[in-house]
Structure 1
């Protein structure tokens, strides 16, 4: 099978073993595995089958032994290893997945057709489309971890249902969670930081540990891990910001968890890095993750808009938002247009004492009195 793979008998401890092994490549990735047979003909047949299955996106390996419960456990360990704080949300997705498939369901039974049935079942139950997309994304991520751990040898490509209306310029919580699942681990931390703080990409990518004030008086010993104090914050000087103004951003629980996770994998001066080196342009990785998550067209800068909008919805004054996120002038802040139709509707209902689900009769009556 010239150019498509080979079968061979490895030499171990100076002796050639009798069992044939497979060696082949698909889409730039190399695979090696035992055929578990001493027959070269049987090994060649396995090789042809493996290559065909991988190209078709079919599960190969030992899918008859791996269960959904094992896929879940593997993903949970992966989240723990990566210090990913969003496992709680992923675990909620598994509640619905296990209810439909059963925890003891074999990986081989989780076919594209079955996933399609799951999607229609969830739609019939009233689940939002973006929620269903997230749940299938979690399932896909669990298969991906199983492949990394050599429990399976291919990750099936499940087709996602069409999402709900994508809100240009902003991320909803479910959309952002789906995006993070598709990002490489070395980018996920930086993107989560930008989502939390609303800072510019360069400000986040350039953040160094010297700018993180833990407000921790503990003596830094050999196994030191900081414990954030009540006044913990991030400080950057005016020389490092676009507007030339220094900035302080206090810790919140989610930000604290993220920075502690980065501390545990630190490698040099930078908080966010790729094997110790600065993270440069990541537009290709971003575009790929957005497309896979069904969020094509989203921009990194939309994280900044989203942070400003969410701060505003939380009741933070616009002046404080400008200080936290780094807008030096009101004119620049206003250009971001951080309100949308839902915000304006909430504003009107709040002004006239109603709620979004109520009739607008009282609003009309109030308006008529002053006309």
Structure 2
């Protein structure tokens, strides 16, 4: 029997972190640092420990980790799984977690405060090390109460005054401004915004920030002090009914900025069904630059806030919190426009 075979435990032996440390010829603390992806770990040490983990088929006990104060599990709470923007955020989270030995556990709410609160409490009870909340609806004071118990990073939550938790956002006001500026550059002057009906959490939501940016850009462009913002109901089928009425209006605008691709894509579908040509009769810009927006049959111009990068930044911020950082951070990403056929075909920019 070779030395390597002697070192490898038998099938019924329990492989522990000490077994890994012995096999790699390092301390238990060194193995822990590698598993936490801690700062200052050399490539050589990481390779030795990783090789030992793979050779021994080491699978850490998350229950035991939780009892010791660290489970290497983070919770990701999503409010609305229908939004095509969310898979990119999750991909960014997983890219950062991959080499860190942390794992994500995903919970899905439906924008109900009671369910959202219950899910957060469950994640705390399961001894998760931290939480990434995507577009939470809870008031800041409630999030702050939870943040005393567990590190929290909120994505798509605009509260720069928060001190107990971090926020990661796109510059949503600037994103809306970019959309209006693009429409103006193409010659459109009759522009409206399709926004989401207000609900709990609106004050800190991305929707409100995009409305602020839309109004500011319209005023700066000389298009009035009170530009039109049409509100879309939250629930179907009223949501689609309102869009149909919008498309049927005799005074329908020549261009529209939608708060999200989620509704912009539905608007494009209804426009095709109703014989409204895009962009000849109606130019459309969405927000999120979702994968669906790029499909040839959709071809939706959209503001790109890079959901993948938001997920990456949020995860790094959370790990930093878990490792002991206490000062709050409020991080912003700069969005950009991805122009497609729903804005203008072949680069035409005549007066509209």
Q: TM-score range by the shorter chain?
A: under 0.3
Larger Rg: 1
- TM-score scaled to structure 2, two decimals? 0.27
The structure with more helix, counted as a fraction of residues: 1
* Higher RCO (C-alpha under 8 Å, 6+ residues apart): 2
- TM-score scaled to structure 1, two decimals? 0.26
